[in-house]
Structure formats: C-alpha cells, structure tokens
Structure 1
Amino acid sequence: MARFVDIHPEDPQARAVGQVVDRLRDGALIAYPTDSGYALGCTVGNHDGKDRIAAIRHLDDRHHYTLVCHDFAQLGQLVQVDNRVFRSVKAATPGPYTFILPATKEVPRRLLQPKKKTVGVRLPDHRVTRAILEALGEPLLSSTLILPGHEDAMTEGWIVKDELDHVVDVVVDGECTAVPTTVVDWSSGYPEVTRVGAGDPTPFE
C-alpha cells in the first residue's frame, strides 16, 4: 500500500519533503505533482524504478525518459549545451518545457534513446517538485503519469493513490494541471517543437 504524503502547495513542509526524499533514497517509486500533471519518479540509479515505470505505463525502449533537475547546474552535467542552447533554455526555465538533448557520459546508457543517445531534461516551476529536488540534491528519473488507454496526465492525488496503490510506494498530494510540457528537440543542432503544451513554443519556432 502506497504512503500518502500531503505537502502544502505554496509552503512545502520540510518534514514532509524529507519523508519523501528518505523513501526515494531507499529505492522508492513515487507519484508526484508537477507543473504539467502527475509524474512517476525515482532516483537515477534506481534500476528497478525505471522498470516499474515502464510496466505501469506500458512503455517500450523508444520512450524518452526525462531527468528532472532543480537547477541549471544539474542540467548542464547531464546534457551537452552550447551557448545557443544555453541562452534559449535559460530564458524559458523554470517552466513547462522538456528539452531533448545529447546526453553526457554522466547519464547511464540504459536511460538514453538508443539511436540518438539523447535524453529529456526539464526544470519544473512547481514548488513541491522543486522542494523535493532541492532536498534530494540530485535529478529525478521521471515520466509523466499517463495510464495506458488515457490521453491526459493524472491530476488528483487521491485518484492516483486509488489507481496505483499497490504499484507505487509513495503518492505526494499536491495541486497540478493536466496540460503537458512543450517538448523541444535539440538533438539535430536546432530547436524542433515536437509537442505544443503549456510552454509557449514561439521562442523555438
């Protein structure tokens, strides 16, 4: 049975955030709110967590997992960012964007898109998410919580717990919207908007 952790959306309680972080460090898979719906998350080194995410969402090897970062310093260790990319990403974050970029050697091979050697990264603008990331001190391996047969991400913590009570370890309660991130693919050296979501695509078109 998943533990339900209620975290204040505007002023996240350090104790509650610490409980979530402790479970993550112990290998837990969490469902947590972001600025683009609920997501599934675990630490980057959690091999079992990635497999559990794939099983819940029925994902194949072509899926782009996302590394959710607290700040640009973390992001810069994970993906190759030249000056042009840096300026563009910096201007748009934190916010509801996912950027597909060539990965550095810091990213485990099992997390990469097999052919392009790319990975998704994002800097969310959600206080609960950012509080968890700051306390954890490392990125989260993440995937939007869209169940098989559904088109939109889940947005209500109590519904997430009801649906996934026996397949995740922690459900973090919090407010979020169902509008997905805007995805910008930089893997070919220029920005290509592959999904229009909550983030304004204009700067990348």
Structure 2
Amino acid sequence: MLLQLHPENPNARHLKTIVECLRNGGVIIYPTDTVYGMGCDIFQPKAIERICRIKQIDPKKAHFSFICSDLSHLSDYAKSVDTPVFRMLKKALPGPYTFILPASRQVPKMLKTKRDTVGIRVPDNNICRTIVQELGNPVMSTSLPVEHYVEEYTDPEIIHEKFGKIVDIVVDGGMGGITFSTVIDLTGPEPEVIREGAGSLELIG
C-alpha cells in the first residue's frame, strides 16, 4: 500500500492507518530528513524479526536506531545524559544525526547492541515525527534492503514498486535523499564520529 502524506499537514485518516499498522506489528517504509528508512514499532518483536529476515541480518548483530519525535523521551531509552551532552543534542536535533548513547532498561532486549547502547534519531522531518507522536513511542529505523542507495531510491513510487510487496505500507512524503545521517558515539569521554553523513560536524564540536 502506498499512502501519501503531506509534509506540513499529514492526512489524519492516512496517519491513523499507518499507526494502526505499526501497533499491529506491521513494517513500513517512511521518509526522514535523509534517506527513506524501513521500520516498525520498537515493542513489536515479530516485526523486528521480520525486518531482520527482509535484510538477511542477525538481530543480535543489527544496528538499529530509534526515531523519536523530540528529546522528551530521551530519559526513557537512554541512561542519564549529562548537561554538555544534552546541550549538544538540543543544538543538533531535529537534524540528520544519529547519536549513540548508553541504553536504558526500557530499550527492548532485541534492540540493544552488545555494548548495551542505543542509537537515537530525531529527524528534521514532520511526517516521521508525527507518526512517532501518534504512535506514542519510537519507531525502529534501518536502511532499505539494498546494497547502495542510488537516485531511484529517492522516489517513493519506485520504492513502492520495488519493496511494496515485502512491507505493509510505503509512506509517500515526497522525494528523499541518498545521504545517510551522521553517526556520533557519545558513550566515551569524547564524541566520536562513526560515520560522516548529512549532518555538519561543526554542531558537535
């Protein structure tokens, strides 16, 4: 199913369909402020397993991140964040960054890495943030099941043609990008850039 959502004013009926799909263990493809991502409700283990099968990855080795609507749920999923780190997050988010933080107990076991960390993402994209708001908890985020993002994967209609049969809903939020988020590890004494992507590094200096 391909459902169109207006970036500024998402259609309430379509939004309800997407949220119900997630609550029922569905898998969706949706826009972010970088590339189109694939995800599900973080509290639906069967949906997480399904995504791992689609991507042919071992759940224990996967690196999924959480899409949050804002920083208000940060303390739910990440262990105590000190003031300088919180300031950095506040400055950079919403934006094209994934911040790796120590995971709290509320992070489902399946989604914790071996290092007991979690990747937190607050994209500068109204559609995915609204979906998360309506759902009431984060959406798990991973890349599409492709080797490389190329120009055609910026078009939701082509994405639907290619992947519509293996997911429940493709959310059409307009053209996407092909550059990933910048990944920054905040679990050590100093911020460490794991992957340089769309986000400017000046914000975390």
Q: TM-score, normalised by structure 2?
A: 0.92
> Percent same amino acid at aligned positions?
39
Q: Distance in 1 between matches of 2:204 and 2:192?
A: 7
Classify the secondary structure of the residue corresponding to 1:55.
helix
Q: Are the counterparts in 2 of residues 146 and 152 from structure 1 also a CA contact under 8 Å? A: no
Q: Post-superposition shift, 1:157? A: 1.2
C-alpha contact 1:100 1:120 (8 A) present in aligned 2: yes
| TM-aligned CA deviation for residue 71 of structure 1 | 1.3
- Runs of 4+ with >3 A deviation: none
> What's the counterpart of residue 98 of structure 2?
98
Tell me, in whole angstroms, the C-alpha distance in 2 between the residues paired with 1:101 and 1:146: 25
> Which of 168-177 and 9-18 deviates more?
9-18
8 Å contact from structure 2 (residues 26, 40) kept in 1? yes
The answer on 1:119 being equivalent to 2:105 is no
Deviation at 1:152, TM superposition (A): 5.1
Aligned to 1:180: 180
Task: For 1:1-205, list aligned pairs within 5 A.
Answer: 3-60=1-58, 61-80=60-79, 81-114=81-114, 116-147=115-146, 149-151=147-149, 154-175=153-174, 176-205=176-205
Displacement of 1:42: 0.7
For residues 145 and 192 of structure 2, the distance between their equivalents in structure 1, rounded to whole angstroms, comes to 23
Superposed CA offset, 1:30-66 (max 9, x none): 0111111111111111112112222222333332110
Alpha-carbon separation, structure 2, partners of 1:84 and 1:152 = 37
1-structure distance, mates of 2:156, 2:149: 18
Task: Spell out, residue by residue over 1:147-173, the C-alpha distance to the aligned partner (whole angstroms, 9 max, x if none).
Answer: 1x3245932211121111221011111
Count of paired positions: 201
1:124-168: CA deviations, max 9, x gaps?
Answer: 110111111111111111112251x32459322111211112210
Gaps of 5+ in 1: none
Per-residue CA deviations over 1:100-132 (Å, capped at 9, x if unaligned) read 110001111211111x11111111110111111
RMSD: 1.6
Contact persistence 2:92–2:204 (CA under 8 A) = no
For 2:150 and 2:40, the matched residues in 1 are separated by 21
> What runs of 5+ residues in structure 2 fail to find an aligned partner?
none
Larger proportion of strand: 1
How far apart in 1 are the matches of 2:189 and 2:169? 38
How many angstroms apart in 1 are the aligned matches of 2:13 and 2:177?
A: 25
Q: How big is the shift at 1:75?
A: 2.1
